């Protein structure tokens, strides 16, 4: 899957909370980018 998702969209897709997605990003499990 090469789609770009927001933290909220990713949390709905994975059926977890947005905080869990943020934790996964900080742990290096998910690659993330900030947009301006």
Measure CA 8 to chain center: 7
- In order of 7, 24, 36, the CA distances from 29 in angstroms are 14, 5, 23
- Give me the pLDDT at residue 1, please: 56
- Give me the pLDDT at residue 35, please: 84
- Give me the pLDDT at residue 36, please: 85
- Give me the pLDDT at residue 3, please: 84
> What pTM does this model have?
0.82
- Tell me the per-residue pLDDT of 1-36, one tens digit each, with 9 for 90 and over: 578 999 999 999 999 999 999 999 999 999 999 988
Q: Are 18 and 11 in contact (CB under 8 A)?
A: yes
- Give me the pLDDT at residue 27, please: 98
């Amino acid at each position: 899957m090469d789609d770009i998702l927001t933290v909220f969209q990713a949390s709905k897709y994975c059926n977890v909370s947005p905080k869990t997605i943020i934790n996964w990003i900080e742990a290096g499990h998910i690659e993330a980018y900030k947009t301006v």
